[in-house]
Amino acid sequence: MSERKNEIVIEVPHRISGFFEIVDELDGSKIEDPVKIGSRGAGFNVSTLGKTKITTIDREDIDKSKVEIFINGKKYDRNAETTYFIVEYVKKFVKKPFYIRIDHSFDLPVGCGYGASGSGALGTIYGLNHLFNLGFSNKEKGKIAHIAEVVNKTGLGTICGQLRGGLCMLTEPGYPCVSKRIKIPKNLKIVCGTFGPIHTKSILTNSVLNLRIKQAGKKALRKLLLSPNIKTFINESFKFVRNSEILELLELPRIRELMESLNKLNIIGASMNQLGRSVYAICEIQNENEVLDVFESYDPEIQISITSIFEKNPVNFL
């Protein structure tokens, strides 16, 4: 029996959000259209990557479509909700049953504020579009990924930020994206430390924190628009953490302690990843070792990564 196997690998960078304003209401009423739901805020892509490998098998005896989804080697299938949503959406454009295996592998921890779900969503739709010759435009692919994130409450503005690249502001919510790039100095390093995950869905459905985030995020973006540079970005990100009271509401004293220790150094600044039990520091290369010393003082409870801001094409086919 003849069998045809196709395979593709897509790379999409991780992303760190510094602050955000949830936009899910208009004039006091909930927005129903997921395309229009999103966030305003700011963040940056990093050079550490998510890879999505998609394998399809075309065989005559396949009478029912089947999908298997793995994240860092662990089988999730339907529980990988954002990826599964995209596969289900694509099904209606494929004329015959298929077998698909999707393997996501991420350089940075999943669920810890590094945009893994957005990276995986973009990798999935770009890969499926290519393998099945679906003919979606780049704008359509971004829209599908954005909807998948919003519907499954795994993200609000991550897709738009990842597609824009570099350090950028999202000035309007929803899709299509409205964003502005911020120029950055050369020779910067990003040092990250992760204590563990926060489930984005639990944050987005917490009414008290939701309101605080809206208020703090709106204020932070207003300040960054007046002075769009990396120093203002990190200062406003730190103030966002303080003003939203996220550390108190989620009981994260170690995050506070680490941020405050880092901000005593002669660096651009440090703040908390949105959303994760993670802290990132932005510094010049010559300050990298002293930043590492602070992070390493939390070993072994912390997972440390060193990366940089990624300004190149955000979606790459291997």
177, pLDDT greater than 80: yes
pLDDT the model gives residue 313: 87
pLDDT the model gives residue 1: 52
Same domain, 103 and 194: no
pLDDT the model gives residue 169: 98
Same domain, 16 and 165: yes
Same domain, 140 and 243: no
Same domain, 130 and 7: yes
The verdict on residue 296 lying in a domain is: yes
CATH code for the domain of 255: 3.30.70.890
- 207 pLDDT tier (thresholds 50, 70, 90): confident
Full residue range of the structural domain in which residue 292 is found: 184-307
- DSSP-assigned letter for residue 309: B
53, pLDDT greater than 60: yes
Among 2-16, 107-121, 190-204, 232-246, the range scoring the smallest mean pLDDT is 190-204
The verdict on residue 277 lying in a domain is: yes
pLDDT the model gives residue 63: 78
Cis peptide before 300 (omega within 30 of 0): yes
- 141 pLDDT tier (thresholds 50, 70, 90): very high
**Helix then strand then coil, % of the chain, to nearest 5:** 35, 35, 30
CATH code for the domain of 27: 3.30.230.10
- Calculate mean pLDDT across residues 37-58: 96
Same domain, 233 and 112: no
Same domain, 257 and 219: yes
Helical residues (DSSP H) of 53-157, grouped into ranges = 81-91, 116-131, 138-151
Integer Cα distance of 233 and 106 in angstroms: 26
Phi, psi of 298 (to 5 degrees): -100, 5
Tokens found for residue 128:
């499926």
- 59 pLDDT tier (thresholds 50, 70, 90): confident
The verdict on residue 313 lying in a domain is: no
Same domain, 158 and 218: no
The verdict on residue 312 lying in a domain is: no
pLDDT the model gives residue 60: 72
Query: For residue 115, which of 242, 14, 229, 212 has the smallest C-alpha distance?
Result: 14
- Domain count along the chain: 2
Residue appearing with tokens 């917490």: 206
Distances (CA, A) of 168 to 68, 118, 274: 34, 16, 15
Q: What is the mean pLDDT of the chain?
A: 95
Same domain, 109 and 122: yes
